[in-house]
Structure 1
């Protein structure tokens, strides 16, 4: 099981850098997903993060393939606003592609290397949408990251999967303790 941290839309740049550096030895990937940032801002925060010592190989850039290439980052996450997987794959075959999907069918037909699937548990960010069922996970035949409402108290239900954490991480005042609690819930 790998832990992916995904930035939310409200994290401040200094908090992003501080939390990422504090937990870099405990997490497997940090997805930089900052919808309000233009390419220059995203490039600047990413290079600051790397210059501060965060490992390049643990970074995933959401949507902005140009920034990923310019920063030498080899993994991108594509969503509904992104170019399609086939176009990215044809143009940049060296990239590892993660695609956000919202159904078992979409996951199984995705041409991405990895799918991000959710939301698995109730979450404030998806209040009016039903959760995916844990049984859905067994029907997906590719590498997967699950997201949505994952807490230290329920992570044990996802032992076979990679997990993504967003709001819980960025809203925490104790990110190191929080990641320890997730790992404890995982039995690590």
Structure 2
């Protein structure tokens, strides 16, 4: 695997906020990092794709997926160096792969699959779709939230990854997450 796609190993508890668009991942990742006085990893794809859209009005294409994965991993590795005990990741390569399979029929990528298999995370918080939809230039499935949630849930189930579904407002989600983290 390319060096740019390798995850730096650490003793941190790495927790991924996972789920469909506009389901509260970023807000929760930031709140958890503040609660635990550590770092959170923003979603690299958001900045990358927004810049692409602003420059050319183009949306994500399969050729963007490896650069997105590289950017996400590099950002995660950089912030892991500064993190204390925990690192909260607002997405990971599994999220990228899951979206790719939704948007591109019969999508296959040995590179992304290898990343998903080799990267290690302690736990996943699957964010439910009971948050208000927030439209922007990149989000495009407001009518398919239930279907998208099921796709993300199945991605975790198929890989037998440890997870908890988080529902409610930010305060409720934070309380549930804290109780799970305490038990980890």
Instruction: Report TM bin, short chain.
Output: 0.3 to 0.5
Q: TM-score, normalised by structure 2?
A: 0.34
- Structure with larger RCO (C-alpha < 8 A, sep 6+): 2
